[in-house]
Amino acid sequence: QVHLQESGPGLVKASETLSLTCTVSGGSISNYYWSWIRQPPEKGLEWIGYIHSSGSANYNPSLKSRATLSIDTSTSQFSLRLSSVTAADTAMYYCARVSTTVGANHYFDYWGQGILVTVSS
């Protein structure tokens, strides 16, 4: 059973950079895409981006200028950096595994429990 665990600071100051790490266990990080999704309090889900174990990444156009994903297959971890944060970036941040079908449908089949990040002024 694949298990994902988010880690990082729960409080970030406005204008600074949010940094989170997701550790994958119970399965290989290789040959999959890995993603970050966030959910502001009492709101819906927003996809941030995903990264392949090879290092190629794809981002939500609305966050592309501020988000950077990276991956370290030797430690089975992947990370998110989100720069110049504001109060609007306060959210529960989830990491997830992306599976794909032959027809290239991308879906999230394993999720972490989430980590709440609050941006303070």
Partner 1 sequence: DIQMTQSPSSLSASIGDRVTITCRASQSIGRDLNWYQQKPGKGPNLLIYTASNLQFGVPPRFSGSGSGTYFTLTISSLQPEDFATYYCQQSFGSLTFGGGTRVEMK
CB of 67: closest distance to partner 1 in angstroms?
Answer: 13
Distances 115 to 5, 85, 87, 95, 121 between C-alpha atoms, Å:
9, 16, 16, 9, 19
Backbone φ, ψ for residue 20 (5° rounding): -130, 150
Distance separating alpha carbons of residues 51 and 106, to the nearest angstrom: 12
Binding mask 65-84 for partner 1 (x = CB under 8 A): --------------------
Q: Which is nearer to partner 1, 14 or 116 (CB)?
A: 116
Identify residues 27-66 at the interface with partner 1 (CB under 8 A).
44-47, 50, 60-62
Q: Which of 75, 81, 106, 118 binds partner 1 (CB under 8 A)?
A: 106
